[in-house]
Amino acid sequence: MKISQRLQHINHMVQGHCDHIWDCCCDHGLLGMMLLKRNTANQVHFVDCVAPLMLQLTQDLQRFFPKQAFSTGHSVAQNTLGISQWQVHCLNAADLPIEQTDITNTHLIIIAGVGGKLLIELVQALISRHGSRQIEFILCPVHHNYYVRHSLAKLGFFIQAETLLEENRRFYEVLHVTLERPCHGHPVTLTGSLMWEDLDKKDLDLAKRYLSQVIAHYQRMPSDLQVPYIIHAYQSQLAQISNAF
């Protein structure tokens, strides 16, 4: 199956190594399999609430990664081979069993393929239950990016990385965020920050088209539903990157 640009961008954004990666991307396990091959975590968890899909995924994992299935008799701390193990969970992403892991373990939760409002509901549910754990998120909503950023900022998240991509004439923002301030991190901004830095000509054209499309979207709304401050925020961002060149 062909790997989408969106999943490739998310895959490249996963740097370093952690104890647990939770793949909640609604993508038939494609991202998690890439992460398994790279051994990016001690344990890669595949999460979806659709039982037939998860049964098929389990069969695929048993076929392609037969020696990497997680054994309930061994903890992540006992995984000394340096090879990622996999485990399948048929449940809602809001109910990740993080409490079953060691309190010292690190977690990266990846949520993509859902709308911005549902995405924020999932993030809020997870941090309300596991706020004391070492958790980072990579998020890629299919729409409502301003709402997502505004909500993350209110929740106190810091940005570690962010990128903009276009696929099949649709734009996507991918955000890597954490509640713990990184060494060189800063709070999540409402219209983006890091993804507008050091743009080459191709990236600048992409950024301008994206921001222009977002502005046009909000301007097309009925006058009683328009939000002038959001339009102004994106207009200011467009002017800023345009004047930088």
For residue range 139-166, list pLDDT tens digits in order.
999 999 999 999 999 999 999 999 999 9
Nearest to 57 by CA among 26, 85, 84, 82: 26
CB atoms within 10 A of CB 136: 21
Long-range CB contacts (within 8 A, 24+) of 67-74: 68/36, 70/43
CA-CA distance, 68 to 36, in Å (whole number)? 9
Mean pLDDT for all residues in the chain = 93
Fold of 5-192: Rossmann fold (3.40.50)
Position 2 confidence tier, pLDDT thresholds 50, 70, 90: confident
Phi and psi, residue 136, nearest 5°: -120, 160
For tokens 């398994």, the residue is 36
Cα–Cα dist 89/80, whole Å: 23
